[in-house]
Amino acid sequence: MSVPINELITRFQKELDATTKKGHPEPTAMTLSTVSEAGAPTSRVVLLKAFDHRGFVFYTNLTSRKSKEISLNPQVCINFMWHNISKQIRIEGRAQQVSNEEADAYFATRAKQSQIGAWASKQSSEIEGKMDFEKRIAKYTLKFAASKVPRPEFWSGFRIVPTKFEFWQKRDFRLHERHVFTPTDEQNWQEVCLYP
């Protein structure tokens, strides 16, 4: 069966709504995997902030380990595990930095303390002195006390442009369903089912 990308996005939205409605505490949390230059994988959780037919967006510090790995190899994988509806969704794709305008618009929606946190955190770098982080928070709190906080240049988002979707559904006796979609052309995605 062949389906357009919008149908896959609608399906994702439907499952996200279902897990949210059933009380998932963090439905947009996704495990993001990247690989080092040497090909070693690593994973961490980030939050999905936007998605549509173009892909799945999260925000982060551009000097972080994940961002450095993405700059060397943009192939990534995100995984959602929604226990309360017995579903897992895996999306493989290529990460592309979002435009400055898109990142600015999202940054502006964040709480002021989170915006200051973005300035203060040298994400993934070692904290050398005991109070260094606190000092940096105090510094930027003072700096932006009377003004709006602009987005730091070293903070932005990535859009994961999907190349593969897998919708996994738990079934009794481990006879789970796996529906995998890969693009056949710009418009159409082909479905295959895999053994569990």
Ligand X SMILES: Cc1cc2nc3c(=O)[nH]c(=O)nc-3n(C[C@H](O)[C@H](O)[C@H](O)COP(=O)(O)O)c2cc1C
- 124 touches ligand X by CB under 6 A: yes
Could you give the C-alpha distances from 76 to 4, 33, 142, 179, 191, in angstroms and in order? 22, 6, 38, 20, 21
Q: Which is nearer to ligand X, 5 or 70 (CB)?
A: 70
Active site residues: 174
For residue 98, the surrounding DSSP H or E stretch is none
Q: Which is nearer to ligand X, 35 or 161 (CB)?
A: 35
Among 97, 123, 169, 182, binds ligand X (CB under 6 A): 123
Q: Of 188, 121, 167, 146, nearest to 12 (Cα)?
A: 167
Among 2, 17, 22, 26, binds ligand X (CB under 6 A): 26
Q: Which of the stretches 52-60, 132-140, 145-153, 176-184 binds ligand X when contact is defined by CB under 6 A?
A: 52-60
Q: How far is the CB of 48 from ligand X (least distance, A)?
A: 8
With contacts defined by CB under 6 A, how many residues of the chain interact with ligand X?
Answer: 14
For residues 164 and 190, the answer to whether their CB atoms sit within 8 Å is no
Beta-ladder partners of 172: none
Compute the distance between CA of residue 11 and CA of residue 196 in angstroms, rounded to an integer.
20
Q: Please enumerate in sequence order all residues whose Cβ is within 8 A of that of 5, keeping only pairs 6 or more positions apart, or say none.
A: 53, 162, 183, 187, 189
- 44 touches ligand X by CB under 6 A: yes
Handedness of CA 91, 92, 94, 97 (dihedral sign): positive
Q: Which is nearer to ligand X, 3 or 35 (CB)?
A: 35
Residues 54-73: x/- map of binding to ligand X (CB under 6 A)?
----xxx---xxx-------
Interface residues with ligand X (CB under 6 A) are 26, 29, 44-47, 58-60, 64-66, 123-124
